[in-house]
Structure 1
Amino acid sequence: MTTLRRAAALVALLLLGSIPAARSDDAKFKGAVLDQQALGSLSGEYAMKMTLLEMDPGAAIPEHTHKGPGMRYVLEGAIAIAWKNGKTEIFKAGSTYFEAPGSSHPMGQMSARNVADGKTRVLIFEILPKQ
């Protein structure tokens, strides 16, 4: 099994593991793919990391880089992401977005800002080179 398939299987298990068990034989459940991103070939050893980002209203994250690819899921609020192509996108609760490895944000700018009136919470899944 390739590293990419192992990582995808791990994410699926994490997501399915969060579905509560049925209480009766006729109880129903469903799953839906929220987002999908091709990663290409990965060589070497990688680890999966999951982080909960919580931002107060108006909080901003300075310019930074990503060591590996990752999906983001906005749980609450809204986050504005500034991309290195000059565009800014706003992702609201229930939205997903992908951040590639390397520098994803413009130099000299805040890369992400909470644009909601309240707290913004984002669940971050990353595939990182094992250290």
Structure 2
Amino acid sequence: MKTSLAVASATVALAVLFPFAAAEAQQAKPQSWPGIKRTDLQRHDLSAPGREVIQVHVDFAPGAAVPAHSHPGEEIVYAIEGAMEYQVEGQSPVTLKSGDVLFIPAGAIHSVKNAGSGNAAELATYIVEKGKPLLVGK
């Protein structure tokens, strides 16, 4: 009974959140980024007015890349596995490996690609303006 209730609750939550996630995904056009899989983990309002935190798990297949873009707030990256090369505008490229972190300032244009021969993954945490698209193309 508890399992059925948990599955039903999760299904309802996904049904409620899916249209928002689909609209956001369409704006960001991740379907045009082969080999990238983004899994939304959580989204919460913050105590700072007009701000929210969004946390996602991103998988990068070998050779996968996300082109230049920015966010309406800060991004904090934690590398989970593999190697990812980040290019933040005005800075030298940096390669993150498992356990490495990167802070990307609000509005900074940046790109990322899988720099290894295997899969790569990251935990990305965004502290952004509520109601704005998460990703803005260059």
TM > 0.5 between the two?
A: yes
Using the alignment, how far apart are the partners of 1:86 and 1:95 within structure 2? 17
Answer yes or no: is 1:78 the counterpart of 2:83. yes
Tell me the percent identity.
Answer: 27
> What residue in structure 2 maps to residue 120 of structure 1?
120
**Paired residues, number:** 85
| Structure 1 residue 103: Cα displacement | 2.9
Answer yes or no: is 1:129 the counterpart of 2:129. yes
Higher strand proportion, which one?
2
Contact 2:88-2:104 at 8 Å conserved across structures: no
| Structure 1 residue 70: Cα displacement | 2.0
Using the alignment, how far apart are the partners of 1:45 and 1:94 within structure 2? 31
| Structure 1 residue 44: Cα displacement | 3.3
Equivalent AA in structure 1 for residue 123 of structure 2: L
SS in 2 for 1:63: strand
Superposed CA offset, 1:38-82 (max 9, x none): xxxx96321110011100011111110111112110000010011
Higher helix proportion, which one?
2
Using the alignment, how far apart are the partners of 1:64 and 1:92 within structure 2? 21
Contact 1:44-1:129 at 8 Å conserved across structures: no
Equivalent AA in structure 2 for residue 114 of structure 1: N
Equivalent AA in structure 2 for residue 102 of structure 1: G
> What residue in structure 1 maps to residue 10 of structure 2?
none
Q: What stretches of structure 1 of length at least 5 have no aligned partner?
A: 1-41, 106-110
Using the alignment, how far apart are the partners of 1:86 and 1:126 within structure 2? 20
> What residue in structure 1 maps to residue 93 of structure 2?
88
- Which of 49, 52, 66 is matched with 1:44 structurally? 49
| Structure 1 residue 91: Cα displacement | 0.6
Q: What are the residue-to-residue correspondences of 1:12-91 with 2, within 5 Å? A: 44-91=49-96
Using the alignment, how far apart are the partners of 2:116 and 2:52 within structure 1? 32
Structure with greater Cα Rg: 1
Q: What stretches of structure 2 of length at least 5 have no aligned partner?
A: 1-46, 132-138
| Structure 1 residue 86: Cα displacement | 4.8
Answer yes or no: is 1:98 the counterpart of 2:103. yes
Query: What RMSD in Å do the two structures reach over aligned CA positions?
Result: 1.6
Using the alignment, how far apart are the partners of 2:106 and 2:91 within structure 1? 18
* Larger RCO, structure (CA 8 Å, separation 6 or more): 1
